[in-house]
Amino acid sequence: MDAREPVSTPFNASSTADEVVRGVDLTGVRAIVTGASSGIGVETARVLAGAGAEVTLAVRDTNAGDGVAEAIARSTGGIRPRVARLDLADRATVTRFADAWGGPLHLLINNAGVVTGGLERTREGWELQFATNHLGHFALANGLHDALALGAADRDGARIVSVSSTAHMRSGIDFDDLHFERRDYDPQLAYAQSKTANSLFAVEATRLWASDGIVANAVNPGGVATGLQRNFTARQKESLDAAEAAGVFTYKTVEQGAATSVVAATAPEFAHSGGHYLDDAREAYIVPNDADLAQHPHGVKEWALDPATAERLWTVSADLLRT
């Protein structure tokens, strides 16, 4: 698919987010981090704020968000992050959030995610993981496009970071049954589909918006123990344990897990280059769709970067949000 060498950086799997921003001045940068009330979202927001950025925590639970904002302000000595409510599974709150945003936006970190143990649906009947992880972020980014374009104009570029996962290697996009209306529900496949969608979003957003100075990249934070696993079924936990035992991943600290997001958000290598999938703080190598995950734990499957699939998913997603 792509014969060029993957984009490298000075960082690696053991790098921390603090190391990535060492010497970086983000004064004047306005950033949004979704899901910034726990896990790598908190660390991503803390590091950006510590480097001088004006950060907004976009969270479902604003009380939890307020606690995080206070902790960040104390630990960094910088500006207290703003807290705003955002429920990615609720289109009305996504619209309100985007409509309420004023002025430029330079960094949109689409970090929030959900894992379910069984089939759950939104009020529209959409499968919850796909609706939250992909469609909610898709709607948010589109609603904030003009703000990102303003940000790009006043700082020579704006960036979107789309948090994906190694799980993308388990499933492409099933356009015939996106919401598991006919096939048996498998929460792991549903999550995998949503993570492939996160990567494809970065591909098409860059194609459509690069002329506006906006680029998007997908990132795999690696294995990090966070609240995301709280809804795992016994089968999901067993699968995770088996993957760890097979060497598919080794657990990272939260500080290491946030590093790849911060690379995509701040590293000069990705200032004007998008549509990539990053793993361990650098661009991943591409593997065939039939590649074995255990043999290629740091690869990205072709289906997660395919331009035609990305364009189709964008069209389907836009159509869904118009219904």
Tell me the catalytic residues. 191
Specify which residues 55 forms β-bridges with: 31
Q: Following DSSP, what letter does each residue of 4-27 receive, concatenated?
A: SPPP--S--TT--HHHHHTT---T
Classify residue 196 as exposed, middle or buried by CB count within 10 Å of its CB (0-12, 13-18, 19+). Answer: buried
**3-state DSSP assignment of residue 189:** helix
- What ranges in the chain are assigned the alpha helix state H? 17-21, 39-50, 62-76, 91-100, 128-130, 137-143, 145-155, 187-209, 234-245, 254-257, 259-266, 307-322
Q: How far is CA 180 from CA 80, 89, 128, 186, in A?
A: 42, 17, 10, 9
Is 171 in contact with 178 (CB distance < 8 Å)? no
User: How many angstroms separate the CA atoms of 96 and 37, rounded?
Assistant: 19
Classify residue 149 as exposed, middle or buried by CB count within 10 Å of its CB (0-12, 13-18, 19+). Answer: middle
User: How many angstroms separate the CA atoms of 306 and 301, rounded?
Assistant: 9
